[in-house]
A and B are shown apart, each in its own frame.
Chain A
Amino acid sequence: MKDILILGIETSCDETAAAVVKNGREILSNIINSQINIHSQFGGVVPEVASRKHIENIAVVVDAAFREAGLTYSDIDAVAVTNRPGLIGALLVGLSFAKSFAYALQRPLLAVNHLEGHIYANCLDHSDIELPAICLVVSGGHTSLLYMSSIGEYELIGQTRDDAAGEAFDKVARFLGLGYPGGPAIQKAAEKGKSGKVVLPRVYLDRNDFEFSFSGLKTASMNEWNKLKRKGMADVNDLAAEFQAALVEVLVEKTIQAAAKHKVRSVLMAGGVAANQELRNLMKNRGQELGLAVYYPSLSLCTDNAAMIAGNAYISYIRGDFAPLNVNAYPGLLSL
């Protein structure tokens, strides 16, 4: 069969990204223009600023993806783009560009759910994943547990009721003066500290469902920090370590419970927080104890990228599931 080359475009948050992927497997190029330095001065992603950067960068990034792949525009078979969920103004830049680019090249357009893209990142690294699986999607915008019966077939079984895990990392890091983005900052501080010296709550909510809540942990961390400072015993590294341990433990245990309840043998992690080393280690160890195969994408594929979008779109391409010219962008999760 002929090779299928798909251009992927991703602008749902603060990375302008484009990639070319062959047959849903082989990454020929993966260009990411990160705006992290711009948003860090605001202490978080500013939607209007992100959209402004996307429109400046989109053509440059797409062109770079072709150059790196050594391809000309007309070599591709389809154009894939993230159209949900994400920042609406940001999504619209990528979607509008993808539509007209595909239209002018007379190639089909494929609309991709960003979360499915994150999960698919596992399939770019591993070709032997046994399905069904339980997927934990953890990022700055999401904390969701999904039952995945096959690629493209997902059922949402639980999600956060308040902050996303990545959001909690950002807010606590900001409060502790560790900087932005919070995930890497807290991980770095935690490596120098020790968990358990201060004690923070593990918030499980109902042990029998798969909902998360992180705002209580966030508040407890801030209260504990203020208390320690008053006593002159504040060690930012110890607190960072305990916060990370508390958050990771809940993520791992809920995921393991979900795997047991749904009788699956594979666990997939996805999203920016899946790059957290503590989370990767604990999930792997717990998985090993219980005979579960645990997968996570390589670090560069955990954060937002377009290779995961182009890869996931291959499934829709094979099915002939093309998007019409009037396809819109949606900020929230419609269904999954």
Chain B
Amino acid sequence: MLILAIDSATPVAGVALLNEEKLIKEEFSNYKKTHSETLMLMVDRVLKECECTVGQMDAFAVTTGPGSFTGLRIGLAAVKGLSMATGKPVVAVSTLDTLAHNLCGSNALICPLLDARKQEVYCGFYDVTGTFPRALSENLACSPAEFTTQARDIAAKHNKDRIILLGDGYYPYVEFFQAELGNSLQIPAPHLMLPRAAALGSLGLEKARKGEFEDIFKLRPVYIRLSEAEYRLGRGEL
């Protein structure tokens, strides 16, 4: 089984090609250019270098959120186009599951965080002692303070003495997290900090094996948040 994984949920763009047992090629970019310019070139390079075509893929994997609204839509639109043209199915994976999978095997509480702006983070809480990450709560958007409170509670409940934070939501609040979580806080090495298309691909393979495919005519990003206008309309401010 060949799977092509495409991630553009955050400032990182990533593309990986995997087969059942191994990662064949991965491209990762965390440098300036917009996904709209880089993503399809990355797809093309990965496939060409591995002497395959999109038509040979058995499935496409994509991070459906949370993340940058525009980034998520670029990835989803790309995967919808590939899937529709080739007739090959799509598997959808949470951006936070993908991040948590970077640390697969750790017995710490794994907390992937994405910068959600407006003084908030998108976050999740995971146990990764098994082969695949197990979410201990729903993915949510909250303030850094709400996050640390929850992280401490969940860590206590699951007997985890270490809390690992990763993802781009860590950087804007480094000092706050260090102050709040003290000695229990651990930060992974740089190559494990950000979403990796390879990790997306391995989670995607598992979903593909189980036949958990999406209907591309219905598939949409998981934004977690409403748009500002919908939020204000809901509060009767419009």
Spell out A's residues near B (CB within 8 Å). Answer: 41-43, 46, 48-49, 51-52, 54-56, 58-60, 62-63, 73, 88-89, 92-105, 325-329
Contacts and interface: CB of A to CB of B under 8 A. Distances in A.
The 8 A-B pairs with the shortest beta carbon distances in the complex, nearest first, are: A100-B81, A104-B85, A101-B81, A96-B77, A48-B227, A46-B229, A97-B77, A100-B78
Contact of A96 (B54, B81, B85): B81
A258 to B, nearest CB: 36
Given A48-B227, A49-B229, A326-B38, A98 B81 contact: yes
Contacts of B77: 55, 58, 92-97, 100
B144 interface: no
Interface in B131-166: none
> Is chain A's interface secondary structure helix, strand, loop, or mixed overall?
helix
B216 interface: yes
Interface in B61-94: 69-70, 73-82, 84-86
B44 A325 contact: yes
Interface of B: 34, 36-41, 43-44, 54-55, 69-70, 73-82, 84-86, 216-218, 220-221, 223, 227-230, 233, 238
B229 A55 contact: no
A332 to B, nearest CB: 16
A36 to B, nearest CB: 15
A320 B69 CA distance: 34
A18 to B, nearest CB: 12
B78 to A, nearest CB: 4
A41 B230 CA distance: 10
A325 B229 contact: no
A336 B201 CA distance: 43
Contacts, number: 116
16 contacts: A43-B238, A48-B229, A49-B229, A52-B220, A52-B221, A54-B73, A58-B77, A58-B80, A73-B85, A93-B77, A96-B74, A97-B78, A99-B40, A99-B81, A101-B81, A101-B85
Contacts of A54: 73
B153 to A, nearest CB: 33
A86 B44 CA distance: 27
B46 to A, nearest CB: 12
B216 A103 contact: no
B85 A100 contact: yes
User: Of residues A60, A94, A101, A102, which shows the largest number of chain B Cβ atoms within 10 Å of its Cβ?
Assistant: A101
A326 B40 contact: yes
